[in-house]
Every structure is written in structure tokens, then in C-alpha cells.
């Protein structure tokens, strides 16, 4: 019976992990492809630091958002690891 509950916890852990990945990758797609390519012309009416906003998203914005999303993913996974009791030995010290 404990093997079944352990398998259920494992499945729930990975299901939540995949949900996090799907949400974060969707955000990155919207920012990089949506803002940088599809919505570039309307966003070019707005200036950011002297550059058109559509150009900024295509050149730097999607990269910066990706880096921020990496840190968000790390924080989410650390919280998920603590919740399911699978944290690293090094991080629990």
C-alpha cells in the first residue's frame, strides 16, 4: 500500500513540475514570439530607452525574460521539493 502512495506522490510531483514548465514556457513564447514578432509593429509606437519597444523585445526582452523565468523556476522547484520532501542534502543545510 505504501508503494502505491509513493507512486502517487511521485506522479503528483511530476505533474506539478510539468505544469510549471508549461506555464513558464508559454510566458516565454508569448514574450519572444508574440511581442517580438507578431505584435512588433503596434509595440514600436512605444519607446523604451530610446528604442522602439517591439525592437527591444525582439533583441533583449525575450532573453531577459528567459533569465528571469529560470530564477522563477528554481524558486518554484525549491518550494515543490520542500513540499514533497525531495530536497537536496546540500540545500537543506
The pTM score is 0.78
The predicted-structure confidence for 76-89, as pLDDT tens digits, reads as follows: 999 999 998 887 76
- Helix segments in the chain, DSSP class H: 2-29, 40-43, 53-56, 62-84
Q: Residue 12's pLDDT is what?
A: 92
Q: Residue 78's pLDDT is what?
A: 94
Show me where the domains of the chain are located.
2-84
The predicted-structure confidence for 13-35, as pLDDT tens digits, reads as follows: 999 999 999 999 999 999 888 88
Amino acid at each position: 500500500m505504501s508503494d502505491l502512495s509513493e507512486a502517487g506522490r511521485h506522479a503528483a510531483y511530476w505533474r506539478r513540475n510539468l505544469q510549471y514548465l508549461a506555464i513558464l514556457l508559454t510566458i516565454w513564447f508569448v514574450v519572444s514570439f508574440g511581442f517580438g514578432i507578431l505584435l512588433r509593429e503596434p509595440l514600436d509606437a512605444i519607446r523604451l530607452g530610446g528604442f522602439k519597444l517591439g525592437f527591444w523585445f525582439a533583441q533583449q526582452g525575450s532573453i531577459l525574460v528567459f533569465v528571469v523565468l529560470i530564477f522563477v523556476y528554481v524558486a518554484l522547484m525549491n518550494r515543490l521539493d520542500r513540499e514533497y520532501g525531495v530536497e537536496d542534502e546540500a540545500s537543506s543545510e
